[in-house]
Amino acid sequence: MNTQTSLGSEIPNAHIVIKQWWIPIIYLLLLFQPCSAESEIFTIDVHRANSLLNNGNYHYLDVRTSEEFMKGHIHADDALNIPYMFNTPQGRVKNVNFSEQVLQLCKKDDHLVVGCQSGVRSVYATTILLDAGFKHVYNMGGGYLAWVENGLPVAVVTPKVEL
């Protein structure tokens, strides 16, 4: 099937290119589909997150990859890094053991601030935690990038060198 342009010329098989272009978009939308529409996610800005983390009652859960975490993360005494997704040769894949890994380190009554690089993965991670029965979970909007942009304290993991 050919498609006509506004000038009257024909473009063969143009509809196929358009359909193929949408395939990755649809795949990503399905991949990042939240688990439940019932979970109400509360997103807070980085200043509110900083305030909650400094009061000693909240823990920071960084859901970025371990490589991202090692390059720099928010400065919090007990920052946890449990990736929501992993980098693989085929691209990023969801950590199917995410909620179980969080449950190994946190209780469902713990107060958590969940963050990632830009605030996208943390929304999905927060949804999973709420669906798993966690009661006090906030998504940090803007993620680590917004944290750095606002001049808030960061930490870098220095690899240990053995002699």
pLDDT in tens, 45-94: 999 999 999 987 899 999 999 999 999 999 988 899 999 999 999 899 99
**Mean pLDDT of the region 140-159:** 91
> In this structure, is residue 50 part of a structural domain?
yes
> In this structure, is residue 42 part of a structural domain?
yes
Structural domains counted in the chain: 1
Is residue 161 very low, low, confident or very high in pLDDT (cuts 50, 70, 90)? low
Q: In terms of residues, how long is the chain?
A: 163
> In this structure, is residue 92 part of a structural domain?
yes
pLDDT of residue 56: 72
> In this structure, is residue 126 part of a structural domain?
yes
pLDDT of residue 3: 46
**Mean pLDDT of the region 14-33:** 46
pLDDT in tens, 120-140: 999 999 999 999 999 999 999
Counting Cα atoms < 13 Å in the Cβ hemisphere of 87 gives 5
> In this structure, is residue 18 part of a structural domain?
no
Both tokens of 26, joined, read 């649809």
Beta bridge partners of 73: 155
pLDDT of residue 160: 57
Q: Cα–Cα distance between 23 and 79 in angstroms, integer?
A: 37
> In this structure, is residue 116 part of a structural domain?
yes
Stronger pLDDT, 77 or 36, i.e. the higher one? 77
Average pLDDT value for the chain: 82
Nearest to 98 by CA among 67, 140, 129: 129
- The answer on pLDDT for 6 being more than 50 is no
CA distances from 101 to 96, 117, 124, 140 (A): 10, 20, 15, 20
Residue 112: give its domain's CATH number.
3.40.250.10
- The answer on pLDDT for 20 being more than 90 is no
Both tokens of 146, joined, read 């917004």
Percentages helix, strand, coil for the chain (3-state, rounded to 5) are 35, 25, 40
- Output the pTM of the full model: 0.74
Stronger pLDDT, 144 or 161, i.e. the higher one? 144
Residue 154: enclosing H or E segment and its boundaries?
strand 154-155
> In this structure, is residue 44 part of a structural domain?
yes
Residue 29: enclosing H or E segment and its boundaries?
helix 14-31
> In this structure, is residue 123 part of a structural domain?
yes
Nearest to 137 by CA among 69, 59, 82: 59
pLDDT of residue 26: 44
Which range of residues forms the domain containing residue 79? 36-155
For the annotated catalytic residues, the residue numbers are 116
